[in-house]
Copies of this chain bind each other. A is one copy, B any other.
Amino acid sequence: MGYTVSEVAEMSGISAHTLRYYDKQGLLPFVDRNKVGNRDFKDSDFEWLGVITCLKKSGMPVKKIRQYIEWSMEGDATLNERLEVFENHKKVVIEKIAEMQNYLDKIDYKIWFYQTAIESGTAAIHAQNNCVFTEGMDLSTVPNLHFPEQQ
């Protein structure tokens, strides 16, 4: 008396194909089956799908999520392992956000670059600008970097 795979697909926004794929990958061991063998999702399964979606969309690979789900199925004995999963993943997500913020700054620079270039009609007005996109590279042997557009 639960939900079929297509009902869950409709409600969750995860396609029925993907739900079956997740199941095959071991992400949905908690989903019941009815007497015919069809998946029979319970209300509480939506919360699991929410957790899986959170981990998935924040960059955790399916394999790692499966490991977390397996631990969850083992009950209170794996509480520490599961805490560690989220603590580690938190660091990853924080790092990702910081990285994105950094890229956002560079994108803003480029927007300014093109806006001012469009105003003056040419990118040549930026001939004297310093570089902002080589961060993280070891360019100690590069004497003079210029913006590509100036070539």
Contact = CB atoms under 8 A, between A and B. Distances in A.
How many chain A residues sit at the interface, stated as a range, is 35 or more
Contact of A54 (B12, B51, B133, B144): B133
Interface string A72-100: 10011001101100110110011011011
Interface of A (DSSP majority class)? helix
A111 B83 contact: yes
A110 interface: yes
A58 B135 contact: no
A20 interface: no
A100 to B, nearest CB: 5
Given A80-B118, A99-B57, A103-B54, A43 B144 contact: yes
Contact of A79 (B99, B118, B148): B118
A111 B90 contact: yes
Nearest to A121: B76
Contacts of A11: 137-139, 141-142
Interface string A8-41: 0011110000000000000000100000000000
Interface of A: 10-13, 30, 43-51, 53-54, 57-58, 72, 75-76, 79-80, 82-83, 86-87, 89-90, 93-94, 96-97, 99-101, 103-104, 106-108, 110-111, 114-115, 117-118, 121-124, 131-139, 141-151
